[in-house]
Structure 1
Amino acid sequence: MKKPLTGLSLILLAAGTAAFAQEDKRPTGETYDQIFQRLGDGMRENIIIRGEHDARTDARKHKRFYTDLQPLADLPPYRPAKQLTGTIRVSGLYLHDGLIKDQWIESFQRFHPGVKVVILPKGTIASGAVDIETGPRISDRLRAASQYEQATGERLFEIDWATGSYDVPGWSPGFVIFVHKDNPIAHLSVEQLDGIFAGSRTGGWKGTTWDAGVARGPEKNIRTWGDLGLTGEWADKPIMIYGRPLKYNIQLGFERKIFQGGDVWNENTLEYSHEANPDGTRYSSSVEMVRDMSADRYGISFSDMGSNRPGIRAVPIGASAAGPFVPISLTSLRDRSYPLFIEQWAQVRVAPGQPLDPLVKEFLTFMLSRDGQDGVQRDGKWITLPAVRAAEMRAKLDTTGERVDPHALGLQLDQLAPKKWDGESPDETGRTVATRAYYRTAFDLSGLPVYAPAAPVAGTVRMPASGQLMGSTTGKALIAAFNRHQPDIRFEIRDGDLNDDAVDLSFGRRWSSYFAGEVYDFQLKRDRSPREIQIATGSFDVAGWSPAIAVFTGRDVKLNGLTIRQLDGIFGGPRRGGWVSTTWRRQAGRWADRNIRWWRDLGVTGFCADKPIDVYVPPLKYHLMSVFERKVLVGGNMWNDNAREIPLALKNGKRTHPGEDRVAAAVRDRCGIAFADPGVKVKGAVMVPVARDEASPFVLPTLKSVQDRSYPLHLETYAYADAQPDQPMAPAVREFLRFVLSREGQAIIQRDGKWLPLTAEVARAEAAKIDLALPRVTAK
């Protein structure tokens, strides 16, 4: 079915003229790497954005915005069953910085003088740093939830203990649906919001479980105001959506509330991000988004009441089509009759089959009591919990912990969150042997530099014991060969994280660098970026070892090949920008005129000529999708909104191979397209040659074309290290990396037979990075 064009290109130009006024922020058509090389990794921008965010938060944290104290008579007073002793540690930045902290500590310790209450700004239950973790819902951030469940074998235990604010930025203000003041729409239901903001979907996320029961087809898409019953001039006008980048926490919460956990958005969503202006100020996404929407009669956005301005109005919302349709207000958030409230969450660890720790349970009971809620309302920003919900949460405290079933349908732990030191895509086959040499080809390494130590070096290098480097033959062989040159360097093999300074080097997949990824976390913690060095090319087709990305169709699709730009047009949607390293770059945007939705647009003849291109992909939260976004979508997160997600599943009690399932679906479709690793074997599937750009040849993935990187969808393997600004890396770390990038080091990687050795050109370029002393990044 042909999807009508919505005029996004014209609206982008009309509504965003002021926003795009700076020439260097217009879409450029550059690749991810070209933008990265030209504009940097985003460290300066993040200092500006985070600095202004912190300043604004600091200005609010001690202010009471709501001063009318409610009687709270319908909540039970806190009455401890018995006196307890010990220490309870609770994390939460706004708990720590706000007015609530001292009242909670004093009130709880009045009942339990033998208990020490410690409220910290940061700390996770996964690390054991705290007993109760508050903040964004972990299970909305699937990667964090998946990592937690994978590490502990426990289901997350969580309760909500307050409602977010009405209009206080930063304190989880409720979602508000804004339209232009002239728009006659009277109200909207949650189901209608789904049709407006979402695309079709094959399922959604309930925690870390994929639920196919919430699937819906494109027939429920709502794309014009006439689809909502408006007549006259409004009937044929496209609905223009103003939103945020899809990696923001606010988007994830909206997906849970509106899309039932689905993650496919209407591709005609204009994404507004926090950005750094050239003058050192912050471009604030919500303010600019609503400002631009106020000039668009046919626009719609979700934001918060703190962003309200003349020219727009908030729409009453109903939980169902039957209503009631409730306007947002302090009162409708207090009783939660307005359905788009945001909860405040607390997460704790509970062993499977065991009850909550007595002290943890007691403090959670206090949080849900009249005494705890009085602290919430006296803080004057969050809103107290309705009595009915508080009773439900208190009852939950009597339940026991749940065990994670590793065979549960949809529990894609590795697919969601491969460990930093593993490959970009997990071993879906379960058959890859870490110590086996799958390739025996000897590539010509004569162009690589020979390792020649300038002088003896002493010191210690700490490296993770887990992961592919040490799990294969590569790690031990590299260390042994290097120590023949540098016997005074000692290696300490231990599990740990570079971000926590537990190791000096980390090897494996490319760290996630978009908002809230590992590089971003490193930058926030240290005010500098980690040093990133490529040490190998990913495999050609060894599952789990960063195999290349191959594109497949059925035999009825007759193609000479596809360029990266064409793949973007097929799999991606129009976008206002993309994540290039840790900052949002509008230079990575593209317009709707580059969408490719019909095979005839690619010159295909025969059976598929007049057929739409049906796209089959993994669920958008899978880690592999962020890799594809970087390689093909220039860091953009907006996908073709008719993409059909196919997750890992169970068949006859065993896990399926989702890559094969996707390719098989495209073949059955006859006119479908999918991507997977080159090792996938499906009868009738055709692997499509790919070209880097219009001037480059079409290349099929082979062992040779992946190793020499003439095939553009190869992957890479990385080392990460730290170094102080204006200083080189530690000598022992620097020397070991020089050895890894040498002819001898790459020969060891080649003999292991999974990752592929670097070309001389890449090895020399990476070696040049090792000796660089990067300047300190500062901003006004």
Structure 2
Amino acid sequence: MEYSEETVQAVEELPPYVPGTRFSGVLRHFGVSLADMIPRWEDGFRKFHPDARFEDDLCKASGIIGVMTGVAELGASGRESVLTEFLSFGEKLKRMPAEIAVATGALDVAGGSYGLAAFVHESNPITGLNVDQLDGIFGAERTGGFKEIRWNPTAARGAEKDIRTWGQLGLEDHWADAPIQTYGFAQTGMTTFFEREVFGGGRKWNPNYREYVEAGSKQQAPGALTTKDMMAALSENPYGIALAGLYHADGFEHVRPLQLAPHGSEAFYAPDADSFATRKYPLARNVYLVVDPGAEGPQAEGTREYLRYVLSRDGQRAILDQGVYFPLPQEILLRERAKLS
């Protein structure tokens, strides 16, 4: 990926890494390579801490498991943690993990924690939706949602906010009474992300939601409907709307992504490199390093020192060399750094 001058300049304006202490021990990652960002960050950290060593098990398992079981200080994860992982961590360590966002996910790279787009048929006159409308279309009446392990009743909403016809979105003529037909992923990290960001942690979906698995993934069993089938169906259905990554539309001429507006905003953003880099687009994703915030001792201080490097100008510059993820905007980076104090 070629990053814009604005994105590169935004990285240069981030605070530089200034070592707070000298670390000479071993740090361990468990989980995924984060599109090979882990070795890049390790190499960069050793330039400041030449005696630091790393022992990694990047086995593509859930990163939080390694931290919970004590085999790693850093759980590398390309998705949000799920309820059962929070529960297990809490039962074992009597506290919640800290999910530290370390980069923005990819725009359109398979396996790169890509953001979600809402696709419609090219004949559909609608141009954009806000996040509350996405909730109305894809979600259902609920009494709350989970925030980590706690039930949050403020995420509740009534059935009156369901959006089931295109007329409820202002479309007229033959669109007015046409039912909205929804498509998307089977239960995966993508649906967990959407539930957290759009449903407030709720898990009740529109009853007509049609589920598909990622084409070419390990979830694809013989006869399973995949994301290719989903986009093929949408390309023939003027009344459909699908959640997918941008690259899923490759080869399908009759579908297009909508502009989306964040909560409480009237500004709409197309899913493109600029809106992902600035995080104005509401369905861009994070990638994470999960840690135990209650850990103590030299290893814990070394972990915090390493994360301070990752969340610095130097650590974020390494993302520009990778070319898959986006560096974090300064306001998000500073928010994540505050979790380390």
Shift, 1:286, TM fit: 2.0
In the other structure, the counterpart of 2:134 is 193
- The yes-or-no answer on 1:336 pairing with 2:279 is yes
Pairwise CA distance, 1:214? 1.4
- 1:84, distance to aligned residue in structure 2 (A): 1.5
Q: What is the CA distance between 1:290 and its match in structure 2?
A: 1.3
Evaluate the alpha carbon distance shift between residue 102 and residue 171 of structure 1 in structure 2; reply closer, same or farther with a 3 A threshold. same
The Cα shift of 1:387 comes to 1.2
TM-score of the two chains, using structure 2 as the length reference: 0.90
The equivalent residue for 2:240 is: 299
1:321 offset after TM fit, Å? 5.7
Letter in 2 for 1:121: L
- In structure 2, C-alpha distance between the alignment counterparts of 1:236 and 1:356, rounded to whole Å: 61
- The Cα shift of 1:276 comes to 3.1
Structure 2 equivalent of residue 635 of structure 1: none
Q: Does the 8 Å contact 2:78/2:112 carry over to 1?
A: no
Q: How does 1:90-109 map to 2 (within 5 A)?
A: 90-95=29-34, 98-109=35-46
Note if 1:81 corresponds to 2:24.
Answer: no
Give the letter for the 1:393 counterpart. E
Q: How many angstroms apart in 2 are the aligned matches of 1:149 and 1:260?
A: 21
**Cα contact 1:350–1:356 (8 A) shared by 2:** no
Provide Cα deviations, 1:113-154, integer angstroms capped at 9, x if missing partner. 121123331351011111010114454x10111011011101
- Look up the SS of the partner of 2:183 in the other structure: strand
1-structure distance, mates of 2:167, 2:23: 62
**CA-atom RMSD, angstroms?**
2.1
SS at match of 2:103: strand
- Of residues 129, 133, 150, the one that matches 2:71 is 129
Cα deviation per residue 1:511-568 (whole Å; 9 max; x = unaligned)? xxxxxxxxxxxxxxxxxxxxxxxxxxxxxxxxxxxxxxxxxxxxxxxxxxxxxxxxxx
Q: Deviations over 1:705-762 (max 9, x none)?
A: xxxxxxxxxxxxxxxxxxxxxxxxxxxxxxxxxxxxxxxxxxxxxxxxxxxxxxxxxx
| Displacement of 1:350 | 2.5
> For residue 257 of structure 2, what is the amino acid of its counterpart?
A
Distance across 2 between alignment mates of 1:174 and 1:201: 25
Secondary structure of the 1:196 match is helix
What is the CA deviation profile of residues 616-648 of structure 1, one whole-angstrom value per residue up to 9, with x for unaligned ones?
Answer: xxxxxxxxxxxxxxxxxxxxxxxxxxxxxxxxx
- 1 CA distance for matches of 2:153 and 2:43? 47
Q: Which amino acid aligns with 2:57?
A: L
Does the CA-based 8 Å contact 2:105-2:285 persist in structure 1? yes
Whole-angstrom CA distance in 1 between matches of 2:58 and 2:78: 13
1:113 and 2:56 correspond: no
Query: How far, CA to CA, are the matches of 2:264 and 2:171 in structure 1?
Result: 16
Tell me which amino acid in the other structure corresponds to 1:183: N
| Mapped pair 1:357 → 2:300 | yes
Instruction: Give deviations 1:301-351, integer Å, cap 9, x for gaps.
Output: 110111123101111111136410111101100000111111111211122
The alignment status of 1:230 with 2:171, answered yes or no, reads: yes
The equivalent of 1:370 in structure 2 is 313
CA 99–159 in structure 1, closer or farther in 2 if over 3 Å, else same: closer
Q: Is the 8 A contact 1:134 1:345 kept in 2?
A: yes
The amino acid that maps onto 2:286 is: E
- Cα deviation, 1:339-371, whole Å, max 9, x if unaligned, reads 111111121112289999210100111111111
> Are residues 261 and 182 of structure 1, via their aligned partners in 2, closer, same or farther at CA, if it must alter by over 3 Å?
same
The runs of at least 4 consecutive aligned structure 1 residues that moved more than 3 Å come to: 65-69, 136-139, 352-356
8 Å CA contact 1:154–1:352 kept in 2: the answer is: no
Structure whose alpha-carbon radius of gyration is higher: 1
Distance in structure 2 (CA, Å) of the matches to 1:111 and 1:136: 26
| CA 107–310 in structure 1, closer or farther in 2 if over 3 Å, else same | same
Alignment size in residue pairs: 326
Equivalent pair of 2:25/2:299 in contact (CA under 8 Å): no
Contact 2:103 2:287 in 1 (8 A): yes
* 1:186 shift after superposition: 2.1
Aligned CA distance change for structure 1 residues 126 and 74 (closer, same or farther; 3 Å): same
Post-superposition offset of 1:91: 2.5
C-alpha deviation, 1:244, in angstroms: 1.9
Q: 1:132 to 1:342 in 2, by over 3 A?
A: same
Q: 1:355 to 1:190 in 2, by over 3 A?
A: farther
Cα distance in structure 2, aligned partners of 1:311 and 1:138: 32
The verdict on how the C-alpha distance between 1:303 and 1:216 changes in structure 2, with shifts beyond 3 A counting, is same
Deviation at 1:106, TM superposition (A): 2.0
**CA contact 1:138–1:144 (8 Å) conserved in 2:** no
Query: How far, CA to CA, are the matches of 1:79 and 1:332 in structure 2?
Result: 30
**Partner in structure 2 of residue 475 of structure 1:** none
Correspondence 1:213 to 2:154: yes
Shift of 1:94: 2.9
Distance 2:161 2:80 in 1: 30
Where do 1:638-677 residues align within 5 Å?
Answer: none
Determine which of 176, 184, 187 is the counterpart of 2:125.
184
Aligned residue identity for 1:179: V
1:254 to 165, 169, 194: 194
Q: Secondary structure at the match of 1:381?
A: coil
**How much has 1:195 moved relative to structure 2?**
0.4
1:275 is matched with which residue: 220, 225, 250? 220
Structure 1 stretch displaced more, 286-295 or 206-215: 286-295
Counterpart amino acid of 2:193?
G
Following TM superposition, by how much is the alpha carbon of 1:277 offset from its aligned partner in structure 2, in angstroms?
A: 3.6
User: Any idea what SS the aligned residue of 1:106 has?
Assistant: helix
SS in structure 2 at match of 1:174: coil
SS of 1:375's partner is helix
Whichever residue aligns with residue 239 of structure 2, its letter is: Y
Q: Distance in 2 between matches of 1:262 and 1:134?
A: 25
Rounded Cα–Cα distance in structure 2 between residues aligned with 1:99 and 1:276: 28
Match 1:152 to one of 85, 88, 93: 93
8 Å contact kept, 1:177–1:301? yes
Instruction: Indicate the percent of aligned positions where both proteins have the same amino acid.
Output: 34
Aligned AA for 2:273? L
- Does the CA contact (< 8 Å) of 2:33 and 2:58 recur in 1? yes
